Structure 1
Amino acid sequence: MDYAKLLRLLSNSIDTSGKSGRHIVRFLQPDHYNECLSQLLKYRRIYPALRSIRSSSLLQALFCSLRYPDSTFFEELGLLVESDSTISVHSSASSSKERATDIPWGVKRIGAPEVWSVSTGYRIRIGVIDTGADYSHPDLRYSLGRGIHLLNRASLPHDDNGHGTHIAGTIAAAGGAQGMIGVAPRSLIYPVKAFDHNGSAFVSDIILGIDWCVRSRMNIINMSFGMKSTSQALKNVVRKANEAGIVIVASSGNDKKQRTADYPAKYAQTISVGATNRDGKIASFSNSGPYIDIYAPGEKITSSWLGGGHREMSGTSMATSHVSGAIALLLAARPNLTPGEIKRRLRRTARPLSTSQARARSRPGEVSAVRLLRGKIERRGQG
């Protein structure tokens, strides 16, 4: 490959203002990517525009804004160019301020308190790719690792939206009597801030977040966001994270659709989550159908919020955090389970939905921490 020619073309095509849209340039040959990255460091001195390029070793890709992406030229060099799409958190269907509750109804619903004598998720590492987290929140004082701020690498991933803090609270809050307790209170959340204050991100930021989670050896990635169209780059990096042994939990979306789910939940390598209400029925806003692997409480969920407070929110985002917490409980007790084994176990041990909604035995049910860890609980009881 003529790296000098490629880097010269990139330099001439890069729009540092970002107004031309962002692009993902993927290499089909790993050695080509590695050599290009090496050359890029040298050519940055000659072509300052190249300094704006970001890279993902997991995907073997470059991210930049191109004025005129010449797909033919790139293809001749064994490269693929894809538009860098925007993606949004699965925002709540309702939202209201709430006072703290010791154990929220969703945590009780899935039976988490009943398994805490066996597992609290101790030391399970969960990358939450979201809007960040409130590091000063009393509920999360012992629950947060450093994480990463992908929009400003010099800063901690502080939450300026609230969504990520809410997700972190449901998974791992340990506020005790003065706050709330999440599903896996001794697991560790590593906030990966890829989303801005509006809850919006680029696919490239998600890819960089997944790349960081793999390098940082997360056990679980929580992805409470989605988009309607697929991205080959995102699909590839999700597959690679799955192959690295990371369990990926993704929200299916709040569109009331019965035969689809948003991406990345629709990818086979994720655990796709729908939402239920207090009655154990599929929530009115939740997507449902064959692309859903498991359901979990997602309606009127109280959790941690910015400024040390709490807020009630609804959405498949909230359901996803319950499932990530339940998997953390399982992994702390059974650390050698693979992502595929965990997905099958989740489906097999799920609590059936109401009769009217469970028309077929193959339809997924609602997550149950008690059923998920049944063998461990029974052995503890016998001891």
Structure 2
Amino acid sequence: TVGTTLDGTLGLVVGDGFQLGLFNEFEPQGTPVPLSQVKAAIGTGGLERAGNDGTGIDVALIDTGVVPVAGLDRGDVVAHGPDLSFDQQAGLAPGLDGYGHGTHLAGIIANREAGSNGGIAPASRLLNLKVGASNGAVDVSQVIAAIDWVVQHRSADGLNVRVLNLSYGTDGVQPYELDPLTHAIESAWRNGIVVVVAAGNTGGSLTNPATDPFVITVGAADLKDPKKPGDDVVADYSAIGSATRRVDVVAPGTSIVSLRDPGSTVDRENPSARVGDRHFRGSGTSQAAAVTSGAIADLLEARPTLAPDQVKALLKATARPLPRSTASSQGAGMIDLAAAWKANLPSRTTQDLAASTGKGSLERARGSVHVSLDGRELRGEIDVQSAPWTPDVWAPLSSAGTAWSGGTWNGNVWAGAGYQDGSAAFTGRTWKSATWTGRTWKGDTWTGRTWKGDSWTGRTWKSA
């Protein structure tokens, strides 16, 4: 499949081998489900009537960017972190979503529009960190860098990041106790950020980092007839996991109506998923994770002293089992925000689990599909800028929330050093080199001229 960016300057080839995620995400899967029906299914009504709508809570969205369509266009809806995607290096406007995935999730979480498609936490603020390119391509090192940035800046410059949504995963091939991606999300968790991870859309194994037992791993439910709660089931595509690690909870994820990103890759490839001119329907554990992130933002406004372990314990203790689905497929069941809001904390909330050291292999964290340029794949113990991966140095910095130094991460400049709410403070920062391609990437090589043709392959933003 050949995709182009919004301005048509880049020819991006999409690999079809990565089967861990959203391969059916924006194809019609039944009656469109507006967010008003999602809210009814998860019990937001009481919190809304009490005035809890996510006010004061920032939700970090590490994804494919966000475009300021109506509902996300007010100045208080989206704050922007650095754009770490390949699009930024190719000279595209920073932070904007050329793929369409991030905007759809942003609408689920924080759409400000009134009516049936308002977000789950419509007064929360999104912190946009774009890592996925216009064709969905991303390397795991970019995602790790973004997580580290969120942790380090969670309280900087007026931010109050309490939730991190990661609807991404790989088929990594090492235990979570070693994996650098799981270590990064555990660093966020231990620094007070509730990490919500999509389970994956294979119907089988969980993706990495959903395998990490500390975080909240979310599967997708199909509401069938939203007016009949008794017929809710776990969606057949929703990953289940194994006997040692299953999903924690499920949330509505099938045929969810949210904001459309006109002209984006998924918009062009799936015109039948459009709902009117402004909306789009999508199915996946990505959508379920976004629903859960918004719900947690509402809960944290109402109960701001909750720690991540306590949030997870409450959601699991108060979830509503789905009688038409197996226990192994749904974890504790459908999230019930009304019950979590009112419930006393369980007697035991601290998770006594083995932590990830982060000292495993970056290559094994990638799994089976790699980004490539000019026919050369990014492989081995190097990041996307070809810097050597030294986990003994990186892991303690990540844990401490100090992996970034200004705009530098893992020894190279990745972004601007400043942060300003809603600004383009990170515009124009280019990476020094990427020797795995045999090409030095700096100066005017980051232009449409050198990026035309069959350049990037290996779309990994199909996950979860």
The verdict on how the C-alpha distance between 1:280 and 1:233 changes in structure 2, with shifts beyond 3 A counting, is: same
2:108 is equivalent to residue 170 of structure 1: yes
How far apart in 2 are the matches of 1:224 and 1:346? 19
**Which gives a bigger RCO, structure 1 or 2 (Cα 8 Å, sep 6+)?**
2
Shift of 1:96: 4.9
How far apart in 2 are the matches of 1:208 and 1:89? 21
Identify the match of residue 352 of structure 1 among 296, 305, 321.
321
The verdict on how the C-alpha distance between 1:293 and 1:101 changes in structure 2, with shifts beyond 3 A counting, is: closer
How far apart in 1 are the matches of 2:343 and 2:315? 14
How far apart in 1 are the matches of 2:328 and 2:186? 31
Determine the structure 1 residue equivalent to 2:184. 237
- 1:179-215 deviations in Å (ceiling 9; x for gaps): 7201111100111100111222111110111011112
Shift of 1:235: 2.0
Question: Which residue type is aligned with residue 188 of structure 1?
Answer: R
Determine the structure 1 residue equivalent to 2:255. 300
8 Å Cα contact 1:104/1:302 also seen in 2: no
8 Å Cα contact 2:218/2:250 also seen in 1: yes
Determine the structure 2 residue equivalent to 1:325. 294
Deviates more, 1:319-328 or 1:95-104: 95-104
Identify the match of residue 364 of structure 1 among 332, 354, 375.
332
2:295 is equivalent to residue 335 of structure 1: no
Determine the structure 2 residue equivalent to 1:275. 220
Identify the match of residue 210 of structure 2 among 265, 268, 279.
265
Shift of 1:309: 1.7
8 Å Cα contact 2:72/2:78 also seen in 1: no
Determine the structure 1 residue equivalent to 2:440. none
Question: Which residue type is aligned with residue 247 of structure 1?
Answer: V
8 Å Cα contact 2:32/2:281 also seen in 1: no
Identify the match of residue 145 of structure 1 among 59, 79, 85.
79
Determine the structure 2 residue equivalent to 1:288. 240
List gaps (5 residues or longer) in structure 1.
1-85, 377-383
How far apart in 1 are the matches of 2:327 and 2:31? 35
Determine the structure 2 residue equivalent to 1:31. none
2:48 is equivalent to residue 116 of structure 1: yes
Tell me, what secondary structure is at the counterpart of 1:220?
Answer: strand
8 Å Cα contact 1:171/1:184 also seen in 2: yes
Determine the structure 2 residue equivalent to 1:127. 60
How far apart in 2 are the matches of 1:291 and 1:358? 10
- 1:257-313 deviations in Å (ceiling 9; x for gaps): 1xx311111112221000001132100111125420110001110001113721011
Identify the match of residue 202 of structure 1 among 139, 160, 166.
139
How far apart in 2 are the matches of 1:216 and 1:305? 29
How far apart in 2 are the matches of 1:87 and 1:212? 28
How far apart in 2 are the matches of 1:165 and 1:171? 10
8 Å Cα contact 1:131/1:197 also seen in 2: yes
Shift of 1:170: 0.7
Tell me, what secondary structure is at the counterpart of 1:176?
Answer: coil
Question: Which residue type is aligned with residue 117 of structure 1?
Answer: R
The verdict on how the C-alpha distance between 1:87 and 1:238 changes in structure 2, with shifts beyond 3 A counting, is: farther
How far apart in 2 are the matches of 1:344 and 1:256? 25
How far apart in 2 are the matches of 1:201 and 1:331? 31
Shift of 1:125: 0.7
Tell me, what secondary structure is at the counterpart of 2:79?
Answer: coil
The verdict on how the C-alpha distance between 1:283 and 1:144 changes in structure 2, with shifts beyond 3 A counting, is: same
How far apart in 2 are the matches of 1:342 and 1:239? 15
- 1:322-376 deviations in Å (ceiling 9; x for gaps): 110111011111112111111111100111112552489x941101111111259
- 1:30-56 deviations in Å (ceiling 9; x for gaps): xxxxxxxxxxxxxxxxxxxxxxxxxxx
Shift of 1:107: 2.5
Higher helix proportion, which one? 1
How far apart in 1 are the matches of 2:25 and 2:40? 22
Question: Which residue type is aligned with residue 122 of structure 1?
Answer: T
Question: Which residue type is aligned with residue 345 of structure 1?
Answer: L
How far apart in 2 are the matches of 1:99 and 1:306? 20
Deviates more, 1:145-154 or 1:367-376: 145-154
Shift of 1:144: 1.3
Computed over aligned residues only, the root mean square deviation of the Cα atoms, in angstroms, reads 2.8
Determine the structure 1 residue equivalent to 2:423. none
Determine the structure 2 residue equivalent to 1:41. none
2:196 is equivalent to residue 249 of structure 1: yes
Shift of 1:237: 1.5
How far apart in 2 are the matches of 1:143 and 1:283? 31
Question: Which residue type is aligned with residue 212 of structure 1?
Answer: W
How far apart in 2 are the matches of 1:349 and 1:269? 18
Count of paired positions: 287
Tell me, what secondary structure is at the counterpart of 2:121?
Answer: coil
Determine the structure 2 residue equivalent to 1:222. 165
Question: Which residue type is aligned with residue 112 of structure 1?
Answer: T
- 1:149-187 deviations in Å (ceiling 9; x for gaps): 11338943111011000101111111114x720111110
How far apart in 2 are the matches of 1:117 and 1:196? 39
When Rg is computed on C-alpha atoms for both structures, the one with the higher figure is 1
8 Å Cα contact 2:233/2:324 also seen in 1: no
The verdict on how the C-alpha distance between 1:143 and 1:99 changes in structure 2, with shifts beyond 3 A counting, is: farther
The verdict on how the C-alpha distance between 1:344 and 1:297 changes in structure 2, with shifts beyond 3 A counting, is: same
Determine the structure 2 residue equivalent to 1:56. none
Identify the match of residue 313 of structure 1 among 270, 282, 292.
282
How far apart in 2 are the matches of 1:145 and 1:281? 36
Tell me, what secondary structure is at the counterpart of 1:242?
Answer: helix
Shift of 1:104: 3.7
8 Å Cα contact 2:109/2:290 also seen in 1: yes
How far apart in 1 are the matches of 2:128 and 2:279? 18
Higher strand proportion, which one? 1
The verdict on how the C-alpha distance between 1:131 and 1:97 changes in structure 2, with shifts beyond 3 A counting, is: farther
> 1:176-187 residue pairs with structure 2 within 5 A?
176-177=114-115, 180-187=117-124
Question: Which residue type is aligned with residue 325 of structure 1?
Answer: G
TM-score (norm 2): 0.57
List gaps (5 residues or longer) in structure 2.
1-17, 155-160, 224-230, 263-276, 345-464
Determine the structure 2 residue equivalent to 1:136. 69
